[in-house]
Chains A and B, each alone.
Chain A
Amino acid sequence: MAEHGVAQIWRKIKSIYNIQGNHCKTCDTYYFPPRPVCPECRRKGVLEDYRFKGLGKIHTFAVVRQAPDTFKRQVPYVVAQIELDEGARLTGQIVNCDPEEVEIGMRVRACFRKITEFGDKGIIVYGYKFEPVLKVTGHPYP
């Protein structure tokens, strides 16, 4: 049986694996998801592909306690709006920390996780989530 949704997911792989968006050279605005035209500059806009660095801070968040069936195993989990350092905002799950540790303004970085799967027989969708920045031994922190 043909799998529903495979083509739609395949088209988004580049953007959801690596937070690939775009940047308008005219108004210097960064967009995610990538836009077909710059909503500010319209036909004067010049868009180029841009891979976000994946670093940002939590703009706001919610703790999910009533989840859809495919997310039940993760309850309670945090869904946040993340403001990336380049300025774009996007929605993503916060992982690798307890919900009570999450706060507005917290620094996060993108990580690679399983987003959902289409049952036991279907495809698995991977993509970005965010986690608190991890301490690195020997890193020259400012």
Chain B
Amino acid sequence: MVGIVGYGVYIPRYRIKTEEIARVWGEDGVRLAKGLGVFEKSVPGPDEDVATISVEAARNAVKHGNIDPLDIGAVYVGSESHPYAVKPTGTIVAEAIECSTDITCADYEFACKAGTAAMQTCMGLVKSDMIKVGLAIGSDTAQGRPGDALEYSAAAGGVAFLIGKENPVATIEATASFTTDTPDFWRREGEDYPSHGARFTGEPAYFRHVGEGAKLLLRNTKTSVDDYDYFVFHMPNGKFPLAMGMQLGVPGEKLEDSLVVRQIGNTYSGSAMMGLARILDIADPGSRIFMVSYGSGAGSDAFSIVVEEEVLKRRGEVPTVDDYIARKTNIEYSIYAKFRRKIKAM
């Protein structure tokens, strides 16, 4: 069966606290952090972007899976912050992990779910025997307009999943997607920062799409919430996935382990995938994971995943999500503004 044959993550070293951002904009940081469920977010260094983050995650994945990079037949990088508007990030990743030149490659864009769309594409290619192993990456260095609510959560990080058939660490039993034309969040060509529909991003966007995607997969697989040990929902903040869980009747303890958003913020295309990676870091073989990503615009990809014995053999090879979360240096807003090019005179 098709599954994840290796995975790796990368989270930049810098963090900024919600309270520090709030201090600059005259907001109540303690209340905001608690309300959002985001206490600090990751910030990329001045020499980091989606290409560098993707390469680090992909190198970890190749090492974790003990995969010969020449076996990789497809490289897809999902992001909304590709360093080039025209020129694929995927080719940089493929070269940096020493893939063969006989591969197919493309960059994906679907707000925060481009990475899981890449996973589905790789599943199709592997299942149809067009490729042996596919590399699907979700990676972002998200930006929020200074002073905007998004600034508290827009973070940076990347996750790489190698999709194949041989000795998977987790098998993907099924996937289902739900897609509509819903303009809840967008960024026009040439604009530095995205715009959003404020409260409109909730009920008609996130909750409808994640909820419907989840229900569709449960229907297709004839399963219920009780059949799963862990749940992962896209994490635009710490509040939404918990509220989604309540709507679907998911007990809090099945969701708790995936909520990396509290320490690193919303890593956009890497958000739900980062939650999944953290579960794979700690779950026992036989555990069943239910993951739903969400991309504004809007759509969701739901996955039913079973952890395999193989996962135990691979642990200790590459840094875990928690290893990267623990490696951090907090910075002030002024340094953050310099790193993220918010100071336009420079």
Contact = CB atoms under 8 A, between A and B. Distances in A.
Interface in A1-24: 13-14, 17-18
A136 B317 contact: yes
A135 B55 contact: no
B51 A124 contact: yes
Contacts of B315: 137-138
Contacts of A138: 315-316, 320
A78 B9 CA distance: 26
Contacts of B51: 114, 124, 126
B46 A112 contact: no
A113 B317 contact: no
A139 B315 CA distance: 8
Given A72-B346, A111-B56, A13 B47 contact: no
B47 A136 contact: no
Contact of B320 (A18, A96, A136): A136
A67 B285 CA distance: 51
Interface in B299-319: 315-319
A114 B56 CA distance: 12
A140 B47 CA distance: 32
Given A17-B96, A74-B47, A134 B52 contact: no
Nearest to B320: A137
Nearest to B341: A73
Contacts of A113: 45, 47-48, 52
B316 A96 contact: no
A129 interface: yes
A135 B56 CA distance: 15
Contacts of A115: 47
Give the contact-size bracket for chain B: 20 to 34
Contacts of A135: 319, 323, 326-327
Nearest to B322: A137
B319 A134 contact: yes
Interface in B50-66: 51-52, 55-56, 59
A95 B317 contact: no
Contact of B95 (A17, A51, A134, A139): A17
Interface in A35-63: 51
A126 B339 contact: no
Contacts of B130: none
Interface in A95-142: 95-96, 98, 111-115, 124, 126, 129, 134-140
B327 A139 contact: no
A124 B322 contact: no
Given A98-B329, A136-B316, A126 B92 contact: yes
B95 A13 contact: yes
Contacts of B256: none
A134 to B, nearest CB: 5
B80 interface: no
A96 B316 CA distance: 21
B13 interface: yes
A137 B47 contact: no
A135 B326 CA distance: 10
26 contacts: A18-B96, A18-B98, A51-B98, A73-B46, A73-B339, A73-B346, A74-B46, A93-B47, A98-B329, A113-B45, A113-B47, A113-B52, A124-B51, A126-B92, A129-B47, A135-B323, A135-B326, A136-B317, A137-B315, A137-B319, A137-B322, A137-B323, A138-B315, A138-B316, A138-B320, A139-B317
Interface of B: 13, 45-49, 51-52, 55-56, 59, 83-84, 92, 95-96, 98, 281, 315-320, 322-323, 326-327, 329, 338-339, 341, 346
List 4 tightest A-B contacts by C-beta distance, closest first. A138-B316, A73-B46, A112-B55, A114-B47
